Amino acid sequence: MDRSDWHPLREESGIPIKGPEEKKPLPETWYAQHGEDRKLCELLGGTKNGLQEYEHSDGSRIETPGFYIDVGSWHPSIDSVTKYFYDRGWNGINIEPVVEYNERVKEERPRDINLPIAVSDHMGVFPFSFIPETGLSTFHEENAKNGENMTGRQIETRNVITWTLGRVCEVYVPRGKKIEFLKIDVEGYEEQVLVGANFHSYRPKIVVVEATVPGTQDATAVPAWENWEHILLSQDYEFLEFDGLNRWYRDNA
């Protein structure tokens, strides 16, 4: 009798002895409303064995897991730009001033830093237009009114704490941690978010900014980047493309 595969536990119990199972890759499931998560994967180098093991174009490796910042996170999975990365071990900062939405993100993202604040060009407490059950809440009064008309949901004014993005990074980005991407979706308040950033000390590799008038995209897109794009270009970010909804930039420093 061939005894080459003999094992005492197998002989005594009749239960086969298995070696360690190989970890299977996660399915390629995408969540972002306009394919932003898939595009980020392409720009940052791809995937391996279901985990993000990215390589920049200059050949430098990214730490696994990576780190992101999501300004205007809204929901932990629906239309989320970061869900795909979180499921693969990444973490980061989610900024969502609507308390109900922040609590929802916080519940499903325990590894993330979830801040119930807004981002602006200065610190303080300011009135914020909340439009229930939508992603259209904003400081931008005209866009809020348009959102109210579009959805039929009445604006509720709330006082919201604001920080600058520079201050958020100073307090919450771990020392020495590289920021792989920054996503901004703030319904017309992009300029204030970018003015408050500190790109000298905290430079995301990729910046993606929703860049059209809320409610417009692709064939109906109304450009809304003329007031803020110069900020990124002046900080040595290279414009990559407009995808019908977002403007994409890469750190060129």
Give the pLDDT confidence score for residue 17 in this predicted structure: 44
pLDDT digits (tens, 9 = 90+) for 11-54: 444 444 444 444 455 557 899 989 999 999 889 886 543 344 55
Please tell me the distance from the alpha carbon of residue 14 to that of residue 112, in angstroms, as a whole number. Answer: 45
CB environment 134-166: b (16+ within 10 A), e (fewer)? bbbbbbbeebbebbbeeeeeebeeeebebbbbb
Give the pLDDT confidence score for residue 192 in this predicted structure: 95
Give the pLDDT confidence score for residue 56 in this predicted structure: 53
pLDDT digits (tens, 9 = 90+) for 98-122: 899 899 999 999 999 999 999 999 9
Model confidence, pTM: 0.81
Q: What are the backbone dihedrals phi and psi of residue 44, each rounded to the nearest 5 degrees, phi first?
A: -95, 0
Chain position carrying tokens 């109304």: 222
Domains in the chain, CATH or no CATH each? 31-251 (3.40.50.150)
Number of H helices, E strands in the chain: 8, 10
Residue 122 carries which side chain, given as an amino acid letter? H
pLDDT, mean of each 10-residue run, the chain (253 residues): 42 44 60 92 66 52 78 91 93 94 94 96 91 76 73 84 97 95 92 97 97 87 94 98 96 92
Chain position carrying tokens 């900024």: 95
Give the pLDDT confidence score for residue 131 in this predicted structure: 82
Residue 251: count of CB within 10 angstroms of its CB: 17
Residue 86 carries which side chain, given as an amino acid letter? Y
- CB distance 95 to 119 below 8 Å: yes
Give the pLDDT confidence score for residue 216 in this predicted structure: 84
158 strand-pairing partners: 128
Q: What are the CA-CA distances from residue 197 to residues 164, 170, 200, 206 (Å)?
A: 7, 10, 9, 14
- CB distance 34 to 246 below 8 Å: yes
- Angle at Cα 110 formed by Cα 82 and Cα 73, nearest 5°? 35
Please tell me the distance from the alpha carbon of residue 72 to that of residue 118, in angstroms, as a whole number. Answer: 8
Half-sphere exposure of 160 (CA within 13 A, CB side): 26
Half-sphere exposure of 9 (CA within 13 A, CB side): 4
Give the pLDDT confidence score for residue 62 in this predicted structure: 52
Please tell me the distance from the alpha carbon of residue 92 to that of residue 109, in angstroms, as a whole number. Answer: 10
As to burial, measured by CB atoms within 10 angstroms (0-12 exposed, 13-18 middle, 19+ buried), residue 213 is middle
